[in-house]
């Protein structure tokens, strides 16, 4: 009973330490539900300028021309120019800027062709993917390259340079704001699915929404906050802190903000309100906001990765009418439809304005903590094998002693009975603890991977499945702590009767346990409050 009491006391102390560490690792901000919902004045997303003479979709046949854009350094990018056939000039024109999911000159074909059929010249250049990875993205460089494409568009016969603007989607809207800050010849900016905020702030909102819709429990949703609070510099990813606020003030021209109400990746209400507020503070009230029954790609569906979906109803018509209306001189009061209209949006989580981390502030440190446990266990296994082989070799030498006489004893010192007993006493708890650490870590990471996959691919398992799994992991974490307390006490009691190699093996397993529990604390397994 005395031993049980000691083990229980050690386990309680360890659980308290782990719980305090888990609390200390929580970031100094919270993912709050979004409450500042935007008022939609009309359910129709249509944009109707007061001018009755503007061209409409399908009014002209279109012509495609393959071009090459020289972006410097001996590099040229393909581009597709689409023009309205027999449309009177000069015509408004629009340059397309890719988001993170597109890069070819053939992208945006349906949107660009629809706009051309309404009398708008469109140019879709390919995006240079040099040094464009998940770790590195040079937005100023992209702005420079798209600026060269804009110069080409200005030089096309029949293009009205004073009414040439840009269309950008998703990540491309950041590039668009940089381009707008560098040039003053952009007549309009159509921004679709714009993240608006810094990358980590926008992703904090998106990941919280994804995890919530996948049925993840609250502690797992909080894990997204921890991840988005980390310093990513050891891995690159500096673009996560792209200063969106600095460039947002460059939107001094008429702006069309479009979102799909099924888009859970973007701040569809908060972003639109921020653009309107920043533009107004710079004297620009010509911001029009439209919501469509579409997803992030403005397709008529909820899936992010479903190919072949049609564009959301009314999307291209609203876009064309807005461009033609702005080009015809429509001002803030020159529209017969409201400033904010369309399908009713419902943003679930707020994009935070700060993302201060807890006591683990670097992704490199977190990765190191998560890898340290398995690495130390591997080292312990190697030492254990060395100790086992050495013991077997000494036992073999013992037989040689009996066969060859006392002279062989100079070369072999077999383990004593006490050493054998101590080795058995420490070996069982040592390897039992190591196995529990390995299994619990694997279960935790498999669970987190399953939640991540369900969130990204919009899969919802059986209701409550992730909750049950999380509580099971919490129970396993408590069991691991109890095993650690029992094993640690056992190892300590026989520490003087084991060899140096065996002692080193025990210390490696205990160190692996410390890092494993630290990792569990980070992921919130000890957060019972």
Lookup: tokens for 477: 């974490």
Q: Reduce the secondary structure of 391-407 to three states and give it as a string.
A: HHHHHHHHHHHHHHCHH
| pLDDT score at 52 | 60
| pLDDT score at 193 | 94
**Contact of 255 with 335, CB cutoff 8 Å:** no
| pLDDT score at 461 | 63
Q: Which residues contact 523 (CB under 8 A, 6 or more apart)?
A: 219, 223, 444, 448
The low-confidence residues of the chain, meaning pLDDT below 50, are 400-414, 416-425, 529
Helix (H, G, I), strand (E, B) or coil at 379: helix
| pLDDT score at 409 | 43
From the list 82, 146, 68, 85, the residue with the least C-alpha distance to 110 is 82
Q: How many helices, marked H, and strands, marked E, lie in the chain?
A: 13, 9
Phi, psi of 168 (to 5 degrees): -135, 145
Lookup: tokens for 384: 């254990």
Q: Cα–Cα distance between 496 and 308 in angstroms, integer?
A: 70
DSSP 288-320: EEEEES--TTSBSSS-SS-TTPPBPTTHHHHHH
- Residue span(s) of the chain under CATH 3.40.50.1820 come to 62-198+251-302+312-342
**Contact of 30 with 303, CB cutoff 8 Å:** no
- Residue 265 is classified by DSSP as S
From the list 166, 169, 127, the residue with the least C-alpha distance to 298 is 169
Which pLDDT tens digit goes with each residue over 392-403?
Answer: 665 555 554 444
**Contact of 403 with 433, CB cutoff 8 Å:** no
Burial status of residue 471 (CB atoms within 10 A of its CB: 0-12, 13-18, 19 or more): exposed
**Contact of 43 with 518, CB cutoff 8 Å:** no
Pick the CATH number of 62-198+251-302+312-342 from 3.40.50.800, 3.30.450.20, 3.30.300.30, 3.40.50.1820: 3.40.50.1820
| pLDDT score at 422 | 45
The pTM for the full model equals: 0.78
Q: Cα–Cα distance between 160 and 157 in angstroms, integer?
A: 9
DSSP 479-504: HHHHHHHHHHHHHHHTGGGS-HHHHH
Q: Which helix (H) or strand (E) holds 121?
A: strand 121-125
Which pLDDT tens digit goes with each residue over 243-297?
Answer: 888 899 999 999 999 999 998 888 999 999 999 999 999 999 999 999 999 998 8
Q: Cα–Cα distance between 513 and 527 in angstroms, integer?
A: 18
Phi, psi of 232 (to 5 degrees): -95, 5
């Amino acid at each position: 009973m005395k031993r049980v009491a000691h083990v229980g006391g050690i386990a309680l102390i360890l659980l308290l330490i782990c719980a305090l560490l888990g609390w200390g690792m929580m970031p100094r901000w919270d993912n709050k539900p979004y409450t500042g919902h935007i008022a939609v004045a009309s359910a129709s997303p249509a944009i109707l300028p007061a001018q009755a003479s503007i061209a409409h979709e399908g009014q002209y046949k279109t012509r495609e021309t393959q071009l090459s854009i020289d972006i410097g350094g001996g590099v040229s990018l393909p581009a597709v120019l689409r023009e309205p056939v027999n449309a009177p000039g000069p015509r408004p024109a629009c340059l397309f800027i890719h988001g993170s999911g597109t890069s070819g000159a053939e992208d945006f074909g349906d949107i660009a062709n629809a706009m051309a059929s309404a009398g708008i010249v469109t140019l879709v250049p390919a995006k240079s993917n040099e040094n464009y990875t998940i770790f590195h993205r040079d937005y100023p460089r992209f702005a420079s390259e798209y600026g060269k494409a804009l110069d080409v568009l200005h030089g096309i016969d029949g293009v009205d340079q004073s009414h040439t603007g840009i269309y950008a989607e998703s990540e491309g809207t950041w590039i668009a704001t940089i381009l707008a800050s560098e040039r003053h010849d952009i007549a309009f900016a159509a921004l679709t699915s714009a993240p608006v905020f810094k990358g980590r702030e926008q992703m904090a909102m998106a990941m919280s929404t994804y995890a919530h819709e996948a049925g993840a429990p609250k502690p797992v949703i909080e894990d997204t906050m921890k991840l988005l609070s980390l310093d990513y510099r050891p891995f690159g990813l500096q673009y996560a802190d792209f200063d969106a606020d600095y460039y947002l003030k460059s939107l001094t021209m008429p702006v069309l903000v479009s979102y799909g109400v099924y888009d859970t990746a973007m701040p569809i209400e908060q972003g639109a309100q921020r653009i309107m507020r920043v533009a107004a503070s710079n004297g620009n009230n010509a911001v029009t906001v439209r919501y469509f029954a579409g997803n992030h790609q403005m397709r008529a569906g909820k899936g992010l990765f479903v190919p072949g979906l049609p564009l959301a109803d009314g999307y291209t018509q609203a876009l064309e009418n807005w461009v033609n209306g702005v080009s015809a001189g429509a001002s803030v009061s020159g529209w017969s439809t409201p400033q904010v209209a369309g399908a009713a949006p419902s943003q679930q989580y707020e994009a935070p304005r700060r993302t201060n981390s807890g006591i683990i502030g670097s992704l490199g440190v977190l990765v190191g903590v998560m890898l340290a446990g398995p690495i130390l266990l591997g080292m312990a296994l190697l030492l254990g094998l060395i100790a086992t082989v050495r013991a077997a070799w000494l036992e073999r030498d013992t037989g040689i002693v009996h066969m060859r006489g006392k002279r062989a004893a100079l070369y072999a010192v077999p383990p004593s009975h006490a050493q054998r007993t101590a080795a058995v006493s420490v070996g069982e708890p040592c390897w039992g603890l190591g196995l529990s650490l390995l299994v619990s870590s694997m279960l935790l990471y498999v669970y987190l991977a399953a939640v991540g996959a369900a969130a990204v691919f919009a899969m919802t398992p059986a209701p409550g499945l992730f909750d049950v799994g999380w509580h099971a992991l919490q129970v396993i974490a408590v069991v691991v702590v109890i095993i650690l307390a029992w094993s640690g006490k056992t190892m300590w009691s026989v520490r003087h009767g084991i060899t140096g190699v065996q002692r080193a093996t025990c210390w490696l397993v205990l160190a692996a346990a410390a890092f494993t529990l630290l990792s569990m604390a980070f992921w919130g397994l000890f957060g019972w409050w």
